[in-house]
Chain A
Amino acid sequence: MLSYLVRRIVLLVFVLFGVSIITFTLMHVIPGDHARLVAIYRWGYDDFSSQELSVVRREIGADMPVWRQYAWWLGHVARGDLGYSFVTKRPVTAEILARVPATLELAVAGFLLTVLIAVPLGIACARRPSSWFDNLVMTGSLVGVAMPNFWLGLLLILIFSLTLNLLPVAGGGGPAHLILPAVTLGAGMAAVSTRIVRASLLEVLEQDYITMARIKGLGEGAVLWRHALRNALIPVVTVLGLQFNHLIGGTVIVENVFGRPGVGQLIVEAIESRDLPVLQGGVLFLAFCFALVNLLIDLSYAFLDPRIRYGGSDG
């Protein structure tokens, strides 16, 4: 277990290292002089002397060779210093932290909704495969998978806000503001997850030890809840982890649809205003969260299935 933990953390560090290189490289392939860009944002076009330019160059480390620039930049990132926004002149870290609550709220609500829909529906379908209920849910899930979340969000606004006047259209705020965004985010993920819960439970139910439990005379309920479900949970956790990729992408879109002031919206705004430090910081931040969650998911396997030993080379 310990060596597994160490290996996973090494991989995490490796992935973050790679991500930092990608982000750094991207920022340095932009045409033009980075320092000049900063100076333009600071003093306006051509409104700065060459002396001021060289001050900026030193300030952002652009006077060093590329590999030292990278090390310099990485050192600052490690201390939580992501530079300053071109637009608001505030520290990027502060800009991001100010946006985290809106995103976190949405992500947690969407994720909870996914689990609350997918697990019960998946179990119900697996108990009676090919029944009318199963067919209905599976058809619904096909629809849910194909539904673009940005369109679903607009449709929900059209129905519940503009036509029925039940819920607010956009913005942050109380729980009422969270309902439509959470449904928009959760629907697509629930559609995929239901399928996976169902399939993995069906697979477990076909195994010998389940047949054995039935022969032993256990009721269907006991077989399902005490024997099958625990083993079916491992692929489910994997998939919910994979869903995290969609979750992050989904929050970007949903925040945009509903005008929620979250991290995703911050990145989109940064692209529109060419605010590169904020873009870079936002990308790094989301990548870091993603890597961290992936690590937690991997670790949770060990608790779900004590048989997994992680001694092998490819665990």
Chain B
Amino acid sequence: MHETVTVFRTAFPLARLLQGIGRDRASFAGGVVVILLVLVALLAPWLAPHDPVKQNLAHALAPPGGEYPLGTDDMGRCLLSRVLYGTRISLAVGLLVGGLSAVAGTLIGLIAGYYGGFLDEVLMRLTDVLMGLPNLVFILAVVGVLGPGLGNTILALVALGWLHFARVVRGSVLSLKESEFVLAARALGFSGPRIMVRHILPNVLGPVVVLATFDIPHTILAVAGLSFLGLGVQPPTPEWGAMLNAARPYMRTYPLLMITPGLMIFLTVLAFNLVGNGLRDALDPRRSRILDGVGG
């Protein structure tokens, strides 16, 4: 009987997603850049010519070239090394927040959608309230009260991040709940958790993966923005937004200090967005490329 039921499960279309990515030149390029960034993050200690936090005031604000390929900052730290190490924080926080939000949101969405009733009502009104706040204002409130820093920033981002996952998953669950394979599973007497995890979950994973892919660049931008305001990652940790903030007094004389970290944020966000677009198109072929304007 077990065999009969698993037939009804739809396999998670990972292969289809990857195929879709491969077909689309722009998202393929985005994927390549993402892989490169991951490699840079992993290999940073070997790629970086210097220690990213070690100060050397004798070499402060050195021009590019020679021992320091991109020059040094006001504390005499190697800009290239800091930019390379910066990949680690951005990617790690992006993945962490995206992952935590996805797991929490999916779980909440599954439960709210499947069981409905009072619990569903409470959870959905909670999402109403949290969505009724401008994101950055909420993050500022959390960081302002609990204190600046990376930990509190992550906390605030996850507190907002789960909302979209929960809404999307709940919506899918509501329609899947009445579908025949779920009714069949219920008729067979399977428990709620089992039906949710083994029968409904695989069918909502696609949109969840797409949302998570877009959550990563959102997170990276938010963390960099907050660090730029001086409220996120604190110096001397090499983080791109914090580096931009520190570079402001030297904009005219040493523009490279400002240009390089910004360029890294831009490229990273662009790459993840392209991958996300590709995943979304692969998942929803009805939405034609022309309609959505995936140009270039």
Contact = CB atoms under 8 A, between A and B. Distances in A.
Interface stretch (B11-19, B76-84, B132-140): B132-140
Interface string B196-238: 0000000000000000000001000100110011110000000
Contact of A146 (B136, B244, B273): B273
Contacts of B265: 148, 151
Given A19-B133, A148-B225, A271 B293 contact: no
Contacts of B141: 22-23, 26, 279-280, 283
Range for the number of chain B residues in contact with chain A: 35 or more
Interface string B268-291: 011001100000000000000011
A248 B135 CA distance: 9
B266 A147 contact: yes
B140 A252 contact: yes
A195 B273 CA distance: 14
A294 B142 CA distance: 23
A137 B296 CA distance: 10
Contact of A248 (B137, B248, B251, B259): B137
Interface in B66-121: none
B293 A141 contact: yes
B74 to A, nearest CB: 16
A167 to B, nearest CB: 15
B49 interface: no
Interface string B32-52: 000000000000000000000
Range for the number of chain A residues in contact with chain B: 35 or more
Interface stretch (B2-10, B53-61, B143-151, B179-187): B143-151
A260 interface: no
A249 B136 contact: yes
A290 B129 CA distance: 12
B63 interface: no
A46 interface: no
B241 interface: yes
Contacts, number: 169
- Secondary structure of the A contact surface, majority rule: helix
A15 interface: yes
B255 interface: yes
B252 A162 contact: yes
A142 B270 contact: yes
Interface string B249-262: 00110010011001
B235 to A, nearest CB: 15
Interface string B122-137: 0001101110111111
Nearest to A132: B295
Contacts of A198: 293
A145 B129 contact: no
A163 B26 CA distance: 34
Interface stretch (A53-61, A94-102, A152-160): A152-160
A268 B231 contact: yes
A70 interface: no
A199 B291 contact: yes
Given A22-B129, A146-B269, A134 B251 contact: no
Nearest to B231: A271
B134 to A, nearest CB: 4
A70 to B, nearest CB: 15
5 contacts: A135-B296, A142-B273, A150-B228, A267-B144, A290-B133
Interface of B: 26, 125-126, 128-130, 132-138, 140-146, 148, 217, 221, 224-225, 228-231, 241, 244, 248, 251-252, 255, 258-259, 262, 265-267, 269-270, 273-274, 290-296
